[in-house]
Amino acid sequence: SQQGEEDPQALSIQEGENATMNCSYKTSINNLQWYRQNSGRGLVHLILIRSNEREKHSGRLRVTLDTSKKSSSLLITASRAADTASYFCATATYNTDKLIFGTGTRLQVFP
Amino acid sequence: DVKVTQSSRYLVKRTGEKVFLECVQDMDHENMFWYRQDPGLGLRLIYFSYDVKMKEKGDIPEGYSVSREKKERFSLILESASTNQTSMYLCASTPPGPSGGAGELFFGEGSRLTVL
């Protein structure tokens, strides 16, 4: 069962531009998390936002959460070539330690 | 630094072989997970374990089994490998999450399995 869907599936931008990725989900959540995956590697946790939070920042990352629309967005500001990776959202429901992942957005940042 | 180690980065097996994928974490985490990742399908949960000798099926458990004899080690077993199990397998661990939901997952580097 796929809980989250990212949009767009792929995104290509120039260095210095901002990148925005969106995630939609289906059921009530406890928290939503974003992960990054470099090609052929494992996933790395970026940020966690709880259901009672609306916005969170971490360095060049900004995450928003709209529980009424069941959606979240990840903004990477002033992108760099090193940001090239796939980005996944993952949702956590209440009373479970499972995370359900979306299908990911492939971000390509050209120097 | 926290670490999740998967024993093999690349494996090539033949149809019908028994395959073991090993995962070890050094963070004393209660919860461990096995996902498989396929293009266009994202990560799908195969099995997870919330304690030694405890396991629960995920979304796609068919054709797989798991073993957790020690807290730090979680093994994924393909009893009789088939070509449709060719995939990237990712192990992860986490302590119990905040307020009853899952917390941050720590992933291994992945094991890419090819079944011929």
- pLDDT, tens digit, 9 for 90 and up, residues B30-56: 899 999 999 888 899 999 998 898 999
- pLDDT, tens digit, 9 for 90 and up, residues B55-88: 999 999 999 999 999 999 999 999 999 999 999 9
Task: List chain B residues with CB under 8 Å of A102.
Answer: 42
Please tell me which residue of chain B has the smallest CA distance to A1: B59
- pLDDT, tens digit, 9 for 90 and up, residues A55-80: 999 999 999 999 999 999 999 999 99
Q: Do A30 and B50 touch (CB under 8 A)?
A: no
Q: Collapsing DSSP states into helix, strand and coil, what is residue B60? A: coil
Closest CA to A101 of A28, A40, A43: A43
Q: Collapsing DSSP states into helix, strand and coil, what is residue B84? A: helix
